[in-house]
A and B are shown apart, each in its own frame.
Chain A
Amino acid sequence: MAGERAARVWAWIAAAGEGDPQGSLAPLCRAAAARLGVDGASVTATSGPAVREPLSASDELSTWLEELLLTTGEGPGAEDYMFGSPVLIADLEPVTERWPGFAPAAVAAGARALFAFPLQAGAIRVGVLSLYRAQPGPLTSQQLGDALAFADIALQLLLDSSAGISALAGYHPLNGLSDSRAEVYQAVGMISVQLGVTLEEAFVRLRAHAFAASAPLHDVANDVVKRLLRFAPDPEPST
């Protein structure tokens, strides 16, 4: 079950989080590196294909690979941006022609397999989760499913930290975006028009409202779709 998998992955992240502020991405990267049979993991924020900002990494090589990706403009993470699908490169060596600037340098530095998971829900795109391994080889289907769950949680942590709720006591990232039904996405679209904001911002407002009301996201979204609840823009500060 998807819910059980998400709960297991969140428990791994929580166990890796001693000493870090709640909701920080560092334990997520450490847990991903430890649990997915890879040697490093990083999360990078993206806004558009050319704008990338490294947020957290489990190790130095992960950080270096992100920088290499940024300077060359090649590699997984650059290509996956438009499509919303993971880019899974079990062996970088045969694909050096595809990324002549990136792949040989990455292999020389000690990364043979690379896996990139966009942090995306429809038109909401906030970043990418990247994994590397020194040894070539694919992810097992179990690891692939877990990696998707890590990416779901990373997406939620990024949006929830914008909403200012990821650091609050009792925060839990589950039952948010990853297992959402159609009404949640429809509500996000409606709120974006009501407030004149991006879908990311609209989701943040919906999530903050549900959290403050201690109501399930799906119930609040249903109220929006049925037009029982409208979001109003913040009033202009008066002078």
Chain B
Amino acid sequence: MAATVDERLAQAFVELADTLVAGYDLIEFLQTLAGRCVDLLEVDAAGLLLADGRGALRLVAASTEQARVVELFQVQSDEGPCLDCYRSGRPVIVSDIRSARAVARWPQFAVAAREAGYAGVHAIPMRLRDQVIGTLNLFKTAPDGLDPAVVVAATALVDVATIGILQERSVRQQEVAAGQLQRALNSRVMIEQAKGVLAERLRVTPDEAFVMLRRYARDHNHPLTELSGDVIRGTVRITSDK
């Protein structure tokens, strides 16, 4: 029998809580969370963007590494529902990005989203008390909006992401929160560099390199960011199994 949405949500929380053990890798955790968003919220792509402290949003995890979709998340540092959500602190639900109103508001983003095949573009704020630290971005191919129950579930998932990023000790101090955000962003950069190193060594694409990195990290119980540092330094050699 198919599990209900509530049952699947409960399962996802259990799974995410299990990964929040000592020494967990934050980016791996956020990747898992982005993947669960697609399953649970019945959307086609999900991405988590963090505020970089300088006024821009940066992608730290996505349910897909497909370059076109990643670009679509990234471009919202300049313009798009995510940036509006970040600035207002409120969810931004756009059922059809092709509508005249959406095109007038985000001319460049609307074109890019349409070319990538998406109609629905939704953004949920990631909050720490009165501070917005990032957004969850959800893309749908169908222009049928986002059910209010799905918005509630997405908000719960975003709260779990906030806990994972800031960790318990951080919640007391805004300054420590700023440090944790920089650390998360820096982890992502290190993983991108390791993808490049591995892609060149093994003659694969960066996306394939990422899959190999994550698989090796899981199989060897080696945190993803730490593994990335080891691959860059050459102290861990991942070989192609092709």
Contact = CB atoms under 8 A, between A and B. Distances in A.
A31 interface: no
B64 interface: no
Nearest to B195: A186
Interface of A is mostly: helix
Nearest to B229: A123
Residue of A4, A123, A149 with highest tally of chain B CB at under 10 A: A123
Contacts of A121: 186, 189
B55 A2 contact: yes
Contacts of A35: none
Contacts of A178: 54
B77 A2 contact: yes
A124 B192 CA distance: 12
A83 to B, nearest CB: 5
A189 B199 contact: yes
Interface in A134-172: 138-139, 141, 144-145, 148-149, 152
A101 B225 CA distance: 32
Interface of B is mostly: helix
Contacts, number: 119
A17 interface: no
B8 interface: no
For chain A, give the interface size range. 35 or more
Contact of B196 (A84, A88, A120, A190): A190
30 contacts: A1-B55, A1-B56, A1-B78, A2-B54, A2-B56, A3-B56, A5-B55, A83-B179, A83-B183, A85-B183, A88-B175, A88-B178, A121-B186, A122-B189, A123-B193, A139-B175, A144-B175, A145-B54, A148-B52, A178-B54, A181-B74, A182-B59, A185-B196, A186-B199, A189-B193, A189-B232, A190-B197, A193-B197, A193-B201, A225-B206
Given A141-B174, A189-B199, 16 more contacts: A3-B56, A83-B186, A84-B183, A84-B187, A85-B179, A85-B180, A121-B186, A123-B193, A123-B229, A148-B53, A179-B56, A189-B197, A189-B232, A190-B200, A194-B200, A225-B199
